Amino acid sequence: MKDKTIAAILAFFGGIIGLQRFYLGQKGMGMAQVFFFVLALSAGPSPFTVMLISLAMIFGIIDAISFLSMDPREFDLKYNESLAPTSASAPPPGRQSFQKTGSMTDREKRFQERQRQRAEQERERERRDRERYNQQPLPRKSPPTGETVRRDPGRADRETGVRHFREYEYEEAIAAFVRALEKNPRDVASHFNIACAYSLEEEADRAFYHLDRAVALGFDDFHRIRTHDSLAYLRIQRAFPDFANNQFRLAAPEPQRATNEEDPLVASGEPVVGAAPIHDELLEQLQRLAALREKGLLTEVEFTTQKRRLLG
């Protein structure tokens, strides 16, 4: 095993004939220095001889200084080949083996700390996104079975809407949620999500309607309605305080008596055969549905579905 201190001493005192080269195993360079030294001596006393010997001494002193200032690991990797790591266990370029000391350098510690901080920031960003959009990450599972599809027919469209919502494509998200509601009008998640999308599009009436439907179907997380970022536009509307005081339900319109004097059967007072009796409460609900359809808050499919449900 070569020692850098010994190499430095040989270079300082015997560098003129290349003793350090023989010690380090560089026999070719050592023979070359001996050859030039002998050549200088054979030339006799002359300026050329003095110049060659002076250069050899200067190079020896330079080698001695470089050996003393060289890092021990670098010296071992360069001159102690038996201690250098093999190709199977060699560290990647720019990274040295520190198995002898058993500790990492400050550079490696800083690198690992940055990697840990990046991982924590990524997890925190994913958590904030899930809270912001009220969605859990989609599980990587096999496609849903036929039973699951029958139980939740609008699931695929709802998940498509969620993906568009996350990409800030609100019009496409609304279209997907509408398809999901056509297949499953009682889907609470689709009602809430489309209300968020309508709020971001600043369509307050539609957003209020779908929030009303979500609450009517069982949505009871009122704190989320009061704090959700996507519903900020609704919370600045004049109608929101009354909406909130009414347990996040739309106020029922004033009932209006409908006259049908043009119908000869009604005008004559004769009973309509096969017609089911219509109570005041049912009539009020039908009028409310019709008003929502006229405002454009209900599609024709949604109106027909709700009307059929009310009429049994």
Query: Among 8-22, 125-139, 179-193, 270-284, where is mean pLDDT lowest?
Result: 270-284
d(CA 35, CA 17): 8
What type of residue is 70? M
Q: What is the pTM of this model?
A: 0.39
DSSP 263-286: SHHHHHTPPPTTPPP--HHHHHHH
pLDDT for res 103: 55
Strand, coil or helix: 131: helix
% residues pLDDT > 90 (the chain): 21
pLDDT beyond 60 at 93: no
User: Mind listing the domains of the chain with CATH numbers?
Assistant: 4-83 (no CATH), 147-250 (1.25.40.10), 252-256+277-312 (no CATH)
d(CA 199, CA 179): 19
pLDDT for res 98: 41
d(CA 289, CA 304): 9
Closest among 203, 290, 216 to 253, alpha carbons compared: 290
Strand, coil or helix: 16: coil
pLDDT for res 85: 46
Q: How far is the first Cα of the chain from the last one, in angstroms, to the nearest whole number? A: 97
pLDDT beyond 80 at 176: yes
Closest among 92, 132, 291 to 209, alpha carbons compared: 291
Contact 164, 170 (CB under 8 A): yes
Distances in Å between the Cα of 154 and the Cα atoms of 19, 161, 183, 191 are 86, 11, 5, 12
Note the pLDDT tens digit of each residue in 97-107.
444 444 567 77
pLDDT beyond 80 at 279: no
Average pLDDT, the chain: 77
Residue 193 — pLDDT band, cuts 50, 70, 90?
Answer: very high
d(CA 225, CA 244): 9
Contacts of 7 (CB under 8 A, 6+ apart): 20, 23, 24, 63, 67, 79
Select the more confidently predicted residue: 22 or 298.
22
pLDDT for res 134: 57
d(CA 242, CA 2): 89
pLDDT for res 146: 54
pLDDT beyond 80 at 71: yes
Query: Among 35-49, 109-123, 150-164, where is mean pLDDT lowest?
Result: 35-49
pLDDT for res 64: 83
pLDDT beyond 90 at 94: no
Contact 248, 222 (CB under 8 A): yes
